[in-house]
Chain A
Amino acid sequence: MTMEAAAEAEIKAPRRADAGPWGWARVNLFSGIGSSIMTVIFFFAAFILLPPLVEWAIIKATWSAPDIRECRANGGACWAFIAEKHRLMLFGLYPYAEQWRPMIVVVLFIILIGLSCSRRFWNLSLIPIWLVGVVSISILMWGGIFGLTFVENEKWGGLPLTLILAVFGMVFAFPLAIVLALGRRSRLPAIRMLCVGYIELIRGVPLISLLFMASVMFPLFLPEGANIDKLLRAQIAIIMFAAAYLAEVIRGGLQSLPKGQFEGADSLGLSYWQKTGFIVLPQALRIVIPPLVNTLIGMFKDTSLVVIIGLFDLMNATKASFVDPLWRGASIEAYLFVSLIYFAFCYFMSKYSQNIESRLSQSNKR
């Protein structure tokens, strides 16, 4: 018996088909006629496209120059433009000497988002953390106390403005979205109808139309003499927009809860608000974290639309950067630079959401 077992153990596993570089290439690149043709086409396309791209972006690129003409004389990309204008793109018209303040704000935002992503902070401690964060961000941006010079919010711009619009948009839309989602599943017909009407109305129109409404109609809505500034109006439009989309995401979570949870809470004699607060929402919100993060990504990208009503967010500050006659025509370089920033934020969030999703599905499997 033992001899046989030992002999069996001696038998090696069959050699894998994709062992070694040649085996790997045979399986992954040349597994059939179609695949081989594809590989050849791919290499051919790379051979045609890559050299000019590398030549433009690196070999003939200019890294420092007084103006665009020198760059164009070299024939490649004009990275000197980025070196010259990156602070305008990142911080907009914020006073040059004070730009360390929005810089710290960006870092604070990253810390706040990072903390909120960590499971250790998924409890009530997030509320004071965010309160402190919001207060320090406001102090840094506005100034006026602690010896900081006052900067009115018409001068805010660039990445901090984008982050403010997206993150505060989500944070303030969230409670509204919970109310809307609960209202949409309410037994009371009038409340249900109001919520459905709001959600479908907002989801049926483009964000631009809401921003237009904010910029041209909100001033008419207010009593004579009262006025709210452009930034706040855009922020309200974004909150209204985000709330409708978040409400649908949260409704998905509410619907995916098994009926037994609701019935169990009822049988314990919990009131509607106890049931919702202690049983339903904690579970429903946990399920929808990945789609919530995806909505945040969408919101972050969509804040760029405030260009159309003339706010100086990251996108608009970038457009403003190549208006300078010395640097006219450097738009492609500018767009590539700003793409990197948008991509870094969105890619991190989407990877995080995938990570959470796989962890949540693991814990559900048990």
Chain B
Amino acid sequence: MAISAGPAKPPARKFSWNDPAVRGLFYQALAIGAVVFIIWYLASNTVANLNARSIATGFAFMNRESGFAIGENLISYGPADTYLRALVVGLLNTLRVAVAGILLATILGTLIGIARLSGNFFIAKAASIYVEVLRNLPLLLQLFFWYAVISETMPGPREALKPLPGFFLSNRGFKFPLPVDNVAWDFAAIGLLLAIIAVFVVRAWAKKRRDATGQQFPTGWTALALIVGLPLLGWIIGGAPTAMDVPAMRGFNFVGGGTLSPEFAALLIGLVTYTAAFIAEIVRSGILAVSKGQTEAAEAVGLSKAQTLRMIVLPQALRVIVPPMTSQYLNITKNSSLAVAIGYPDLVSIANTTINQTGQAIEGVAIIMGVYLTISLSIAAFMNWYNKRIALVER
């Protein structure tokens, strides 16, 4: 009777502290509970404090008039505009210095990285001294240094240096002529955009044809012709205007033209020279990681020097270079926040002014963190995608 119907049910799992699954659940519940409690505790204190100081929470202040001026703005902005617009101006300034910094630091870093591998004793030594010195000094110190160099060694606007007619170099920054607003320049910009799209299309088509027929297509030259030609065409269609807005001395300062402010210049120089030292090391180790046999084999199968570099060495070096390079690009973006120390109106600087004026500390810090997190995660996602594309496909 005891061994009657059906397969025996497994005994129901008894509750036991020796069961790892039970303990796992317990630990997780404990951790989440602790975190929730801490957040609840801090939040309730914060609410009580805000009530005591009668500060209203929320982002309603963003639509109020900011009342402060910003020295540099890519979009039109005045003190009568809202805080929201001021913050957007700051964000654009951050992106401007970050993008320029990433491009220039990559170029300078690559050059220095290659120079460190040079057979020439002095070039290699100079490059390695550069890397050692710049890496071992705080970036903030370097920014202050460059700012002091620019603002103390440059002459005043009246005695401005004139490297070229229409260009002025003074402690107010670098002034240069800008083309007068004209629809032709919009055409040129559209031409550039079309050219970039066309280059991608041509490249994809050329690769397909090469894979199918083995015929080479001069993609590089075509791309160059497109990138130069289409904007030029747009400019000519627009009537080929040549009027320039040349800066001129009026009273105590310059009027007209474009400006690179001393703050922007110091920030850009500091970021680029500092990050280039790190990029140089990354590039050097990337190149060293490609074994010599690869180059020799490429020569043996009859590839030209340029082909060897482009098809054999670079793809393999990039595999080593890209992941650490990603973190350097992220570093440039995050380090651009040091702008606040030398008075360049980046996002952090403007958010700081906003916090001081409105007292909305939590919202201000949340905006800064949210924006940087978004930028960081987007760059990381893009570089991960790129890294996956160039990664070695194994098995």
Output the least CB separation between B353 and chain A (Å): 12
Looking at chain A, what size class is its interface with the partner chain?
A: 35 or more
| A283-327 interface with B by 8 A CB criterion | 297, 301-302, 304-305, 307-308, 315, 319
Say whether, besides A204-B377, A315-B141, A305 and B136 are in contact (CB < 8 Å).
no
Q: Which of B120, B338, B377 contacts A29 (CB 8 A)?
A: B120
From B62-70, B315-323, B368-376, the one touching the partner chain is: B368-376
Q: Which residues of A contact B253 (CB under 8 A)?
A: none
Q: Which of A39, A205, A223, A297 contacts B369 (CB 8 A)?
A: A205
Say whether, besides A191-B28, A191-B31, A221-B42, A39 and B120 are in contact (CB < 8 Å).
yes
Proximity bits, B344-375, A CB within 8 Å = 1, else 0: 00001000100100000110110011001100
Say whether, besides A188-B27, A217-B361, A332-B152, A209 and B337 are in contact (CB < 8 Å).
yes
Q: Are A188 and B28 in contact (CB under 8 A)?
A: yes
Proximity bits, B37-66, A CB within 8 Å = 1, else 0: 000001001101110100000000000000
Q: Are B28 and A189 in contact (CB under 8 A)?
A: yes
Counting CB contacts under 8 A, is A252 at the interface?
Answer: no
Proximity bits, A184-214, B CB within 8 Å = 1, else 0: 0001111100100000010111111100110
How distant is the Cα of A43 from the Cα of B126 in the complex, in angstroms? 12
Counting CB contacts under 8 A, is B206 at the interface?
Answer: no
Counting CB contacts under 8 A, is B137 at the interface?
Answer: yes
| B132-148 interface with A by 8 A CB criterion | 132-133, 135-141, 144-145, 148
How distant is the Cα of A130 from the Cα of B368 in the complex, in angstroms? 37
Say whether, besides A194-B32, A220-B361, A350 and B340 are in contact (CB < 8 Å).
no
Q: Are A209 and B152 in contact (CB under 8 A)?
A: no
Q: Are A205 and B372 in contact (CB under 8 A)?
A: yes
Q: Which residues of A contact B35 (CB under 8 A)?
A: 194
The chain A residue sitting closest to B334, CB to CB, is A206
How distant is the Cα of A111 from the Cα of B117 in the complex, in angstroms? 37
* Residue total for B at the interface (Cβ-Cβ under 8 A): 54
Q: Are B32 and A216 in contact (CB under 8 A)?
A: no
How distant is the Cα of A217 from the Cα of B43 in the complex, in angstroms? 11
The chain B residue sitting closest to A212, CB to CB, is B365
Q: Are B137 and A206 in contact (CB under 8 A)?
A: no
Q: Are A308 and B341 in contact (CB under 8 A)?
A: yes
Q: Which residues of B contact A28 (CB under 8 A)?
A: 119-121
Counting CB contacts under 8 A, is A335 at the interface?
Answer: yes
How distant is the Cα of A170 from the Cα of B341 in the complex, in angstroms? 25
Output the least CB separation between A228 and chain B (Å): 13
Q: Are B136 and A350 in contact (CB under 8 A)?
A: yes
Q: Are B48 and A224 in contact (CB under 8 A)?
A: yes
Q: Are A191 and B27 in contact (CB under 8 A)?
A: yes
Q: Which residues of B contact A304 (CB under 8 A)?
A: 138, 140-141
From A6-14, A95-103, A113-121, A337-345, the one touching the partner chain is: A337-345
Q: Which residues of A contact B123 (CB under 8 A)?
A: 38-39, 42
Q: Are A350 and B122 in contact (CB under 8 A)?
A: no
Counting CB contacts under 8 A, is B118 at the interface?
Answer: yes
Counting CB contacts under 8 A, is A153 at the interface?
Answer: no
Output the least CB separation between A186 and chain B (Å): 9
Q: Which residues of A contact B368 (CB under 8 A)?
A: 205, 209, 212
Q: Which residues of B contact A302 (CB under 8 A)?
A: 138
Counting CB contacts under 8 A, is A64 at the interface?
Answer: no
How distant is the Cα of A207 from the Cα of B24 in the complex, in angstroms? 34
| Number of cross-chain contacts by CB at 8 Å | 153
Q: Which residues of B contact A39 (CB under 8 A)?
A: 120, 122-123
Output the least CB separation between B263 and chain A (Å): 15
Q: Which residues of A contact B136 (CB under 8 A)?
A: 297, 301, 342-343, 346-347, 350
Output the least CB separation between B160 and chain A (Å): 20
Counting CB contacts under 8 A, is B22 at the interface?
Answer: no
Q: Are B28 and A190 in contact (CB under 8 A)?
A: yes
Counting CB contacts under 8 A, is B149 at the interface?
Answer: yes
Q: Are A346 and B137 in contact (CB under 8 A)?
A: yes
Say whether, besides A223-B45, A319-B144, A188 and B24 are in contact (CB < 8 Å).
yes
Counting CB contacts under 8 A, is B335 at the interface?
Answer: yes
Q: Which residues of B contact A216 (CB under 8 A)?
A: 355, 361, 364-365
| A200-248 interface with B by 8 A CB criterion | 201, 203-209, 212-213, 216-217, 219-224
Q: Are B45 and A220 in contact (CB under 8 A)?
A: yes
Counting CB contacts under 8 A, is A276 at the interface?
Answer: no
Counting CB contacts under 8 A, is A331 at the interface?
Answer: yes
Counting CB contacts under 8 A, is A143 at the interface?
Answer: no
Q: Which of A190, A205, A332 contacts B334 (CB 8 A)?
A: A205
Output the least CB separation between B39 and chain A (Å): 10
Q: Are B120 and A206 in contact (CB under 8 A)?
A: no
Q: Are B45 and A301 in contact (CB under 8 A)?
A: no
Counting CB contacts under 8 A, is A74 at the interface?
Answer: no
How distant is the Cα of A42 from the Cα of B376 in the complex, in angstroms? 39
Q: Are B46 and A301 in contact (CB under 8 A)?
A: no
Counting CB contacts under 8 A, is A35 at the interface?
Answer: yes
Q: Which residues of A contact B139 (CB under 8 A)?
A: 301
Q: Are A208 and B337 in contact (CB under 8 A)?
A: yes
The chain A residue sitting closest to B356, CB to CB, is A216
A interface residues, Cβ below 8 angstroms from B: 27-29, 31, 35, 38-39, 42-43, 187-191, 194, 201, 203-209, 212-213, 216-217, 219-224, 297, 301-302, 304-305, 307-308, 315, 319, 329, 331-332, 335, 338-339, 342-343, 346-347, 350
5 inter-chain pairs at a CB distance below 8 angstroms, sorted by A residue, are: A28-B120, A204-B377, A206-B372, A216-B364, A315-B140
A39-B123, A331-B144 provided; 19 other pairs, C-beta below 8 A? A35-B120, A43-B122, A187-B24, A190-B32, A201-B373, A203-B376, A206-B334, A208-B340, A220-B49, A301-B139, A302-B138, A304-B140, A305-B140, A315-B140, A315-B144, A331-B152, A335-B148, A339-B137, A346-B136
Which A-B residue pairs are the 8 nearest by beta carbons?
A346-B136, A190-B28, A28-B121, A216-B361, A301-B138, A204-B376, A206-B334, A206-B337
